[in-house]
Copies of this chain bind each other. A is one copy, B any other.
């Protein structure tokens, strides 16, 4: 080959070259472009024109070095489970977060932490000065990571409920899982169901616990038995296996509240195998409203959570904190809503 023809032959223009072309000093050019200092309209116009002509883009590393801020926030997916990768939750969170950050000119740096080694790397990353703050997704109950990070002085916002008095520098956003579950089970009770089981998600994820608690709330209030429950992962196999166990314990159960739509799909499958008609013999309600929920047979009644809005809210809370106005209270609970289709 005839050698690398370096297309970017001319080096990127610096503030220096812009200033030179506009016939001013570097400091003035800096003020004209971004800073708040006083600049005459004439000069400003000249600098802007020069920058435009040269195609000037500020060097972010240099800016970040002097400012002590990076203009980045991290999104750390503490993914011990596969949930994020089996439903579109992750993508929706990202979309919400990104929308909010982009408006503020902040960039999103993504980090996954599945293994223990990756977790250590993620901590190093978060404390390396690469980001000004951190968003944490899918944190298990006893996980010390958020507090550890916040203790380093890094602003942190989590998805998923935490204690009502989070540590300093720590905030959280969650969907109202408990109320969503109540709506779902309430719907079952009002439509005449009496033996209502639940297949809930992992007990060490707040979402799993809260959805089960909502189920129990309604049953107790209605004076109905709350003995039919099993928990597992948020996936199809969990739903499938659990339903067969439940059916053995009580062949006459007439409803199942599933902790997620994927679980619900497994429930439907098991009910088919057991010869039960849905919703005639057994009603089924899911949670999440994933796209495939509309395509099941029958289409799934489920609880929708505002995932994208949750992402946006997390980002907004972090930005507020970075602006020096920590949100008070340092948490937010977003409403969920029942979507009634044919399965219940």
Chain A residues proximal to chain B, CB less than 8 Å: 6-8, 12, 57-62, 64-65, 70, 72, 75, 84-88, 90-92, 94-95, 98-99, 102, 107-112, 118, 121, 124-125, 127-130, 151-153, 168-169, 235-236, 262, 265-266, 268-269, 272, 290-292, 294-297, 299
Bound Cα distance from A171 to B108, whole angstroms: 24
Bound Cα distance from A291 to B297, whole angstroms: 16
Is A295 touching B108 in the complex (CB atoms < 8 A)? no
Is A121 touching B102 in the complex (CB atoms < 8 A)? yes
Say which residue of B92, B121, B152 sits within 8 Å of A8 (CB atoms): B152
Bound Cα distance from A147 to B83, whole angstroms: 36
Is A109 touching B108 in the complex (CB atoms < 8 A)? yes
Is B297 touching A128 in the complex (CB atoms < 8 A)? no
Bound Cα distance from A151 to B129, whole angstroms: 32
Is A62 touching B65 in the complex (CB atoms < 8 A)? yes
Say which residue of B60, B94, B102, B112 sits within 8 Å of A98 (CB atoms): B112
Is A110 touching B124 in the complex (CB atoms < 8 A)? no
Copies in the complex: 2
CB-CB < 8 A to A84: which residues of B?
A: 91
CB-CB < 8 A to A86: which residues of B?
A: 88, 291
Bound Cα distance from A68 to B339, whole angstroms: 52
Most B C-beta atoms less than 10 A away, residue of A70, A98, A268: A98
Q: A62-B65, A108-B111 are in contact. List 20 more A-B contacts (CB 8 A).
A: A7-B153, A12-B129, A60-B129, A84-B91, A85-B91, A90-B91, A90-B94, A95-B112, A98-B112, A99-B112, A107-B109, A107-B111, A107-B125, A108-B110, A109-B110, A235-B291, A268-B297, A272-B297, A292-B292, A296-B296
Is A268 touching B292 in the complex (CB atoms < 8 A)? no
Q: How far is the CB of A26 from chain B (nearest CB, A)?
A: 16
Say which residue of B61, B98, B268 sits within 8 Å of A295 (CB atoms): B268
Is B102 touching A57 in the complex (CB atoms < 8 A)? no
Q: How far is the CB of A326 from chain B (nearest CB, A)?
A: 9
